[in-house]
Structure 1
Amino acid sequence: MNTFSVIPSMVQLQLCVSHLLYIFASVFSTVFNWTSGVFMPSTSSVSQVDIKVDQSIVKNETSPTSVNYHFTRKCNYKCGFCFHTAKTSFVLPLDEAKRGLNLLKQSGMEKINFSGGEPFLHDKGDFLGKLVQYCKQDLQLPSVSIVSNGSMIKEKWFQKYGEDLDILAISCDSFDEATNQLIGRTQGRKSHIDNLHKIRNWCQQYKVAFKINSVINTFNIDEDMTDNILQLNPVRWKVFQCLLIDGENAGEDALREAERFVISDQMFQEFLDRHSSVPCLVPESNEKMRNSYLILDEYMRFLDCREGRKDPSMSILDVGVKEAICFSGFDEKMFRERGGKYVWSKADMKLEW
């Protein structure tokens, strides 16, 4: 069930009209600035336009309980199936990013997950660390997490920011270095597996819950990861089915060609069956994954993936969370069915450090 399915048809029309009015106002404001001899960026000019959605629309709004903020697209890995590719090097200024996070908190956000790209690349991880501190100390969010390939993380980052981080998820698709090379999850001669174990130990030392994310594809579909996962003992092992997104890892304008990585639903289920004894396994098929995540891009726009591509909303910095989220395509029912809300604060996990 998507957002529009719970909104009456007349309200849907009002939302569409509001969306069109916003676009018209944005274009008119920009043209006016041009003809006046003054040009202002669209974000600044749009903020002067007072276009609001009827209150009858927002009463059924979706709450941004858990948000994934991809604040950068830059990455030092070249994973062939990546579905959030490095199309731009843009990153919001820190103050603007904090303003957006505060808007999300005011609208009901409980968990923020920072991702990329590779989030530790920008400003050597300090930008990310400052956002983590802000979300935990200032906004007092119950859960702050990160997804990273792990290659850029240093121990001094844990020393400075680890106290405010609840969960660190490291992406690892194989425990065979040759397979990681084929996938593109590697950098030079560094061992991705050795680094994974090092970060696991740091998480234990600095009291950060450790998680592993794996994308199952044609190169690792026959691998048995049971012993390695049990040894690392993550709080969650999130297992994704390789997903195609037009314009990202599929299609004419894509930077990746992930078709050769795609596996069938049956193949994915066979992999899950092989690992059914792993207690921390959390499987996510394409059906569950596509519409059940609230994704913010580097401009703080929600990304709607319902049509197999990423269609951006307006930025929450321009129109606020309530209006932008209506165009996110978020399926809150599927979010809950896939176990999107769980014990995500390390204070509540009762882990033995």
Structure 2
Amino acid sequence: MFTTQIVFVKMLLQVCFSSLHRVLAGALEKAFGWMGISDGGGRARRVAHRSTRESHIKADESEAATPKTPTPTSVNYHFTRQCNYKCGFCFHTAKTSFVLPIEEAKRGLRLLKDAGMEKINFSGGEPFLHEKGEFLGKLVQFCKEDLQLPSVSIVSNGSMIREKWFQKYGEYLDILAISCDSFEEDTNKLIGRTQGRKSHLDNLCKVRNWCREYKVAFKINSVINTFNVDEDMREHILQLCPVRWKVFQCLVIEGENAGENALREAERFVISDQQFQDFLDRHSDIACLVPESNQKMRDSYLILDEYMRFLDCTEGRKDPSKSVLDVGVENAIQFSGFDEKMFLKRGGKYTWSKADMRLEW
């Protein structure tokens, strides 16, 4: 009898210890399992989960460390440096007379379209100077008709434009911007925005009328400098009624309009930030005014030179990439210095197709 009781007690103790072991093991697994202390399939699953989570973190960090390739949404193609004006602050001067063969230019434009380009702006120099505007007209037609770009625009001084150009190519052009820094003829002459006895202001008004007749959106670009900073342009801008009035602060670029090898000396044209702001304040009631300080302008434009190289202006000079024709857009654009965030912040993307503007011609 006594022996039977002893056996029973031993069995009871074994059951108790077994139950206690299971309870303690479960508690320890809950407490330390996520630290990798527990055993079994649960641990394997948690280790795998932690490993996956760490992989995601590393991937995110790697993505953040690798700069995103900018999209060339809007590109300014300065296909010629030659100009018939001698504006003292010009920052894209006639350092070469080179112009790409038109088929090569078209090939580069197609590469840009395939990389995401939506808007092309042709500039110079004076873009209507080369082949009396025929080269430009063919590129404008190609970009609108073949590439189907939403927006094709030109910046010109207006002096070389003829009505027959509008008759032939006007339907393919969305926006024509004419550079005009003053509505006083003598001031334009002091700046160098003139040729011989021709009136820059007469040309401006003539081109404005052609734009209306041939359904091209009309724009004005003005560079604010020491010679025009105190001028009141409100009445003239309201009369001309451009869709946009781009107002730039005079910008100095080493090697272009400043420094040893420069063809211009822009220092005497430079104004302070406060002077520029005073000009903007005086014209703040003009709805179409689009101000661009040096800070906004320097890094927020994608500029292609005559060789189709992107120009990096971040260091205050124009450092060229390799040509998109040789290395492709994605490679070349990495060396453009382009600030895509500033491009969007300054309003670089806007309603730029004349089909969407709903203008009353």
1:241 and 2:225 aligned = no
TM-score relative to the length of structure 1 = 0.84
Quote the Cα distance in structure 1 between the aligned partners of 2:228 and 2:64: 45
User: Matched residue of 1:195: which SS?
Assistant: helix
Match of 2:286 in 1: 278
| CA apart distance, 1:7 | 6.8
Query: 2: distance between equivalents of 1:264 and 1:332?
Result: 26
Matched, 1:98 2:106: yes
Tell me the distance in 1 between the aligned counterparts of 2:152 and 2:219: 13
Candidates 252, 258, 266, aligned match of 2:274: 266
Measured after TM superposition, the shift of residue 61 of structure 1 is 1.3
Structure 2 residue aligned with 1:61: 69
Q: Corresponding residue for 2:175?
A: 167
Deviations 1:97-150 (A, max 9, x none): 000000000000000000000000000000000000000000000000000000
The answer on 1:338 being equivalent to 2:346 is yes
Structure 1 position 214 matched with structure 2 position 187: no
Relative to the length of structure 2, the TM-score reads 0.82
- Output the CA distance in 1 between the equivalents of 2:86 and 2:70: 34
1:324 alignment partner, one of 301, 311, 332 = 332
Q: Using the alignment, how far apart are the partners of 1:158 and 1:203 within structure 2?
A: 8
Correspondence for 2:239: 231
1:101-250 mapped onto 2 (5 Å cutoff): 101-250=109-258
Q: What is the root-mean-square deviation of aligned Cα atoms in Å?
A: 1.0
Q: Report the AA paired with residue 216 of structure 1.
A: I
Query: What CA deviation, in whole Å up to 9, does each residue of 1:205-224 have, x standing for no partner?
Result: 00000000000000000000
Q: Distance in 2 between matches of 1:7 and 1:205?
A: 51
- Gap regions ≥5 residues in structure 1: 1-5, 12-56
2:84 counterpart residue number? 76
1:306 aligned partner: 314
Q: Does 1:256 align with 2:264?
A: yes
Q: Encode CA deviations 1:229-264: one digit per residue, 9 max, x unaligned.
A: 000000000000000000000001100000000000
What secondary structure, in the 3-state scheme, does the structure 1 residue paired with 2:258 have?
A: coil
What is the CA–CA distance in structure 2 between the aligned matches of 1:62 and 1:80, rounded to whole Å? 33
Identity of aligned residues (%): 82
**Aligned residue for 2:93?**
85
SS in 2 for 1:327: coil
Amino acid at match of 2:276: F
> What secondary structure is seen at the aligned counterpart in 2 of 1:128?
helix
Match of 1:36 in 2: none
Structure 2 gaps, min length 5? 1-61
2:301 aligns with: 293
Q: Name which structure has the greater RCO, CA cutoff 8 Å, separation 6+.
A: 1
- Write out per-residue CA displacement over residues 42-96 of structure 1, whole angstroms, 9 at most, x where no aligned residue: xxxxxxxxxxxxxxx7xx2110000000000000000000000000100000000
Q: Equivalent residue for 1:25? A: none
Stretches of 4+ aligned residues off by more than 4 angstroms = 6-9
- What is the CA distance between 1:8 and its match in structure 2? 5.6
3-state DSSP of counterpart to 1:252: coil
